[in-house]
Amino acid sequence: EVKLLESGGGLVQPGGSLRLSCAASGFTFTDFYMSWIRQPPGKAPEWLGVIRNKANGYTTEYNPSVKGRFTISRDNTQNILYLQMNTLRAEDTAIYYCARTYYRYWYFDFWGPGTMVTVSS
Amino acid sequence: DTVLTQSPALAVSPGERVSISCRASEGVNSYMHWYQQKPGQQPKLLIYKASNLASGVPARFSGSGSGTDFTLTIDPVEADDTATYFCQQSWNELTFGSGTKLEIK
């Protein structure tokens, strides 16, 4: 059974940093692209970025809205996906999801339950 | 960015057929996918590439369309289908629609 579980969310002040983690199990982690997606309360999801699989060199791509502030990485020995978020703003307040990404058509076939990030002073 | 437009809300009775639309601001071929999100839960994939049923999803759900106009159909609707339904395109970057909230009367 595919399982994804995010952690690391919380309250952070504007300008601060936070690192989110996503523990994956139930599938061969290195075979899959993995994405981070966020959803402000009551709004639509927004794709933040992706890290590709082993066959594609674990390269990354980002939504221009967060490029330069957010960094995606992965620990393939422990099957953990990370999202490093810097220079956080109030508008970054959202539920953050990790999602397994089917590379051929770029849809998200499994999502974690999410972790809430609140940026406020 | 490709903007996806969905109607905000629909209300139907159990047993009826409902069609949820998603219109793209430019053509997205058949690279349209649909998700169901129940309150307090993460989105769940229903349909990928316009008309393909995701694993484990009941056959009551179906998808159609290509280019700019897409439809998710539920037939027949059940009380458990109360949720917000999002479309997502992957032809031009990756964007989501604003969602259609489905109420079962």
The pLDDT tens digits for A63-80 are 999 999 999 999 999 999
Report CB contact under 8 Å: A44, B31.
no
pLDDT interval class at A49 (50, 70, 90): very high
Say if A40 is an interface residue toward chain B (CB within 8 Å).
Answer: no
- For B53, residues 6+ apart whose C-beta sits below 8 A from its C-beta are B46, B47, B59, B61, B62, B63
Q: Please, are residues A75 and A53 in contact by the beta-carbon 8 Å criterion?
A: no
Report the pLDDT averaged over residues B29-54: 98
Question: Residues of A with CB below 8 A from B42's CB?
Answer: 97, 111-114
pLDDT digits (tens, 9 = 90+) for A103-121: 999 999 999 999 999 999 9
pLDDT interval class at B69 (50, 70, 90): very high
Question: Residues of A with CB below 8 A from B98's CB?
Answer: 43-44
**Best residue in A108, A109, A115, A116 for a mutation probing chain B (most B CBs within 10 Å):** A108
> How does DSSP classify residue B60?
T
pLDDT interval class at B20 (50, 70, 90): very high
Question: Residues of A with CB below 8 A from B49's CB?
Answer: 105, 107
How much is the pLDDT for A33? 98
Say if A113 is an interface residue toward chain B (CB within 8 Å).
Answer: yes
How much is the pLDDT for A68? 94
How much is the pLDDT for B72? 98
Q: Please, are residues A47 and B95 in contact by the beta-carbon 8 Å criterion?
A: yes
Closest in B33, B49, B99 to A44, CB measured: B99
The 3-state DSSP class for residue B93 equals: coil
Q: Torsions phi, psi of A21, nearest 5? A: -125, 155
Report the pLDDT averaged over residues B69-85: 97
